[in-house]
Chains A and B, each alone.
Chain A
Amino acid sequence: MKLLTGEILSNEKYSDNLYKMEIFSPYICKNATAGQFINVKCSPEGVLDPLLRRPFGIFNIEKKFNVFSMLYRVKGRGTKFISGLKSGDMLDFAGPMGNGIDLNGNENNILLIGGGIGIAPLYLIAKVAGEMKKNVFFAAGFKDNSYLRWEKDLIELKINYAVLTEDGSWGEKGLVSDYVWNNMKSFKNFDIYCCGPRDMLKTLQNIYKDRNNKVTALLEERMACGVGVCAGCVVKLRKGKKGFSYKKVCKDGPAFNLGEVIFD
């Protein structure tokens, strides 16, 4: 993990609030694995407002070109700032952070379930699993068609996928969790990675409660340091029969066994 500045090669607008930024960084490309994130300073040099760095899952790594990318939604002041950065500008970031996903011990079948911007870190997992010749299926759900441009990235992976939208404007109409439920039999021997809104994760937790699939959730929480020091980004996990403990998303995660997560 290092503090770095990397040149922005592109900051492409996918739709109103969705952007993909490509950053030149041999260090990240050499050291990062799928599931890890970077922590980005989202204010100009020397300016301390917005104050905190923002964590972004690594969306893609192109080792050959020493370029990695992040797909992000403009939600507040921090993401608004970086959406205004241009190619040639330098990005102040630290990484790679968090624990990467090790796909070696997995089933040969991998199902990725993403909701909204939750697809971002799953994309790299899908890519790596594909490169390992695993059978990969990506189920992605959105409110509307604002992520449409992302389908182009997905097609590049040459994997099977399904897109669902709540308004039916792209792919099938419905929720991604319903899609998973309806196709339960086809995904029987799949290891699952999911990332997305809390409600989606809660539903998936219920669906897989009494099943044997290994289900891993990539979680998100408000973060201050990103390196495991401040204990700000904790999530509640089951401990023993009735107990719980708080684990840090940044250092213990961001991937957790979905069955152990307590959604209060």
Chain B
Amino acid sequence: MTEQDSLFSYETDTGGNGFSLSVRLGRIKLDNPVIACSGTFACGLEYSQFYNTAILGAVTTKSYSLKPIEGNPPPRICETASGMLNSIGLQNDGIDIFIKKHLHEAEKLGIKIILSIFGQDPEEFRKVASRAADIKERIIAVELNLSCPNVKNGGMAFSAMPDEVEKIVSSTVSILNIPVIAKLSPNHQNLVEAAMAAKKGGAEALSVINTVVGMAVDIETFMPRLGNVLGGLSGPAVKPIALAKVYSLTREKILPVIGMGGVFSWQDALEFLVVGASAVGIGTANFIQYDVGEKIIEGLRNYLKEKKIYDINEVIGRLRT
């Protein structure tokens, strides 16, 4: 009879024996390209039960707004073929609780934090950014969640409107004085324009993709499977979409990209790096394989050693077309 701990030991030196995993996205320097995606890792505390989350290149926090938000009615989760839909509705404790409580907890664990923020209108973005400015020495960057609806403009997502993207990015950049990352949605035709607008506004990097809009129906009750009717699709099902979206941006060489969407293994991560992402986000995989971040870092390091590639940057953008 056997029982095994799935935990395995890790090396704290993320470079390791002359093989370097460190990457750079503008002014953002990471020990390795593996980042936990916003909304899938809280602030790192829960997963630190399973491994030392300080080894991650960075952890992007849950998205915080000015005031706490209760979120959408349940059910909020629905599994689909190799994926899941969610309609959490950006439930969060508000930026002040993050600063007072969660930031401190994450710091104690040695986690490198990217703070994700959002607002229901440009004014709220500015207000949350002002709060974030008070703690800017304690975080490595701010990520703007631009996939949320602009309440003052018909509920259309900010990232659907390049003008809005530029305005929000430039106003937060001027408040913050630390690197700003724009997280863009795959649900609009003008991703490249939105990315260019983010660059114009002064963004340092792009996070691509957020979830893909989707729905599911219960054929017994004829009810939607999500309380909010529509939700965001994530997981292995979206990886090909994510790769194509990342490629559409890296091909244009607009800004460094953090590629994300369906990354579950080091091989998945490598695909994103090859198409030109400078770093890779791990999202839904955290829900299933709690120590996936550690496994992917380990896998990438072993890959470099095996192939005798001394620097991960030699792989980035090497897609042969």
Establish whether residues B42 and A232, one from each chain, have CB atoms under 8 Å apart when the complex forms: no
**A233 interfacial by beta-carbon distance below 8 Å:** yes
**How far does the Cβ of A21 sit from chain B's closest Cβ, in whole Å?**
14
Instruction: Select the residue from A6, A52, A228, A235 with max chain B CB neighbours within 10 A.
Output: A52
**How far does the Cβ of B138 sit from chain A's closest Cβ, in whole Å?**
21
A25 in contact with B235 given A51-B84, A221-B75, A224-B84 (CB within 8 Å): no
> Which of A25, A224, A264 is the one whose CB lies under 8 Å from B77?
A224
**How far does the Cβ of B267 sit from chain A's closest Cβ, in whole Å?**
11
* Those of B35-86 within 8 Å (CB) of chain A: 39-42, 46-47, 49-50, 70-71, 73-79, 81-84, 86
Query: What per-residue 1/0 map shows which CB atoms of A209-246 lie under 8 Å from chain B?
Result: 00000000000011111111111111110000000111
* Those of A187-212 within 8 Å (CB) of chain B: none
**B interface, by DSSP: helix, strand, loop or mixed?**
loop
A230 in contact with B1 given A3-B291, A48-B236, A52-B288 (CB within 8 Å): no
How far is B1's CA from A50's CA once the two chains are assembled, in angstroms?
27
**How far does the Cβ of A157 sit from chain B's closest Cβ, in whole Å?**
25
Query: What per-residue 1/0 map shows which CB atoms of B214-242 lie under 8 Å from chain A?
Result: 00000000000000000000011000000
**B22 interfacial by beta-carbon distance below 8 Å:** no
**B248 interfacial by beta-carbon distance below 8 Å:** no
How far is B48's CA from A227's CA once the two chains are assembled, in angstroms?
11
* Those of B261-314 within 8 Å (CB) of chain A: 264, 284, 286-291
Contacts of B49 in A (CB 8 A): 1-2, 227
Contacts of B284 in A (CB 8 A): 51, 224
Which segment of B4-12, B100-108, B162-170, B185-193 sits at the interface?
Answer: B4-12
Contacts of A1 in B (CB 8 A): 49-50
* Those of B80-130 within 8 Å (CB) of chain A: 81-84, 86, 88, 91
Query: What per-residue 1/0 map shows which CB atoms of B7-21 lie under 8 Å from chain A?
Result: 100000000000000
> Which of A6, A228, A234, A246 is the one whose CB lies under 8 Å from B42?
A228
Closest to A28 in B: B3
Contacts of B4 in A (CB 8 A): 4-5
> Which of B70, B88, B290 is the one whose CB lies under 8 Å from A230?
B88
Contacts of B47 in A (CB 8 A): 227, 229
Contacts of A4 in B (CB 8 A): 3-6
Q: Report, as a range, how many residues of chain A touch the other chain.
A: 35 or more
**How far does the Cβ of B269 sit from chain A's closest Cβ, in whole Å?**
15
> Which of A6, A7, A24, A52 is the one whose CB lies under 8 Å from B287?
A52
Contacts of B41 in A (CB 8 A): 229
Closest to B285 in A: A48
**How far does the Cβ of B258 sit from chain A's closest Cβ, in whole Å?**
19
Establish whether residues B2 and A24, one from each chain, have CB atoms under 8 Å apart when the complex forms: yes
**A130 interfacial by beta-carbon distance below 8 Å:** no
**A26 interfacial by beta-carbon distance below 8 Å:** yes
**A167 interfacial by beta-carbon distance below 8 Å:** no
Contacts of A5 in B (CB 8 A): 2-4, 6
How far is B76's CA from A236's CA once the two chains are assembled, in angstroms?
12
Establish whether residues B1 and A24, one from each chain, have CB atoms under 8 Å apart when the complex forms: yes
Establish whether residues B91 and A246, one from each chain, have CB atoms under 8 Å apart when the complex forms: yes
Closest to A244 in B: B70
**A102 interfacial by beta-carbon distance below 8 Å:** no
> Which of B46, B75, B88 is the one whose CB lies under 8 Å from A228?
B46
Establish whether residues A225 and B81, one from each chain, have CB atoms under 8 Å apart when the complex forms: no
**A53 interfacial by beta-carbon distance below 8 Å:** yes
* Those of A234-264 within 8 Å (CB) of chain B: 234-236, 244-246, 264
How far is B73's CA from A236's CA once the two chains are assembled, in angstroms?
8
Establish whether residues A245 and B70, one from each chain, have CB atoms under 8 Å apart when the complex forms: yes
**How far does the Cβ of B124 sit from chain A's closest Cβ, in whole Å?**
20
Establish whether residues A49 and B82, one from each chain, have CB atoms under 8 Å apart when the complex forms: yes
Contacts of B236 in A (CB 8 A): 48-49, 51
**A94 interfacial by beta-carbon distance below 8 Å:** yes
Contacts of A49 in B (CB 8 A): 81-82, 236
Contacts of B286 in A (CB 8 A): 225, 229
How far is B264's CA from A66's CA once the two chains are assembled, in angstroms?
32
Establish whether residues A234 and B71, one from each chain, have CB atoms under 8 Å apart when the complex forms: yes
> Which of A53, A94, A230, A235 is the one whose CB lies under 8 Å from B74?
A235
Contacts of B5 in A (CB 8 A): 2-4
**A127 interfacial by beta-carbon distance below 8 Å:** no
How far is B6's CA from A66's CA once the two chains are assembled, in angstroms?
18
A48 in contact with B3 given A94-B290, A229-B47, A245-B70 (CB within 8 Å): no
Instruction: Using CB atoms and an 8 Å cutoff, list the residues of chain A in contact with chain B.
Output: 1-7, 9, 24-27, 41, 48-53, 66, 90, 92, 94, 221-236, 244-246, 264
Instruction: Using CB atoms and an 8 Å cutoff, list the residues of chain B in contact with chain A.
Output: 1-7, 39-42, 46-47, 49-50, 70-71, 73-79, 81-84, 86, 88, 91, 235-236, 264, 284, 286-291
Task: Give me 8 other A-B pairs in contact (C-beta within 8 A), A3-B50, A48-B82, A222-B77 excluded.
Answer: A27-B3, A51-B288, A53-B287, A221-B75, A225-B287, A229-B287, A234-B91, A236-B74
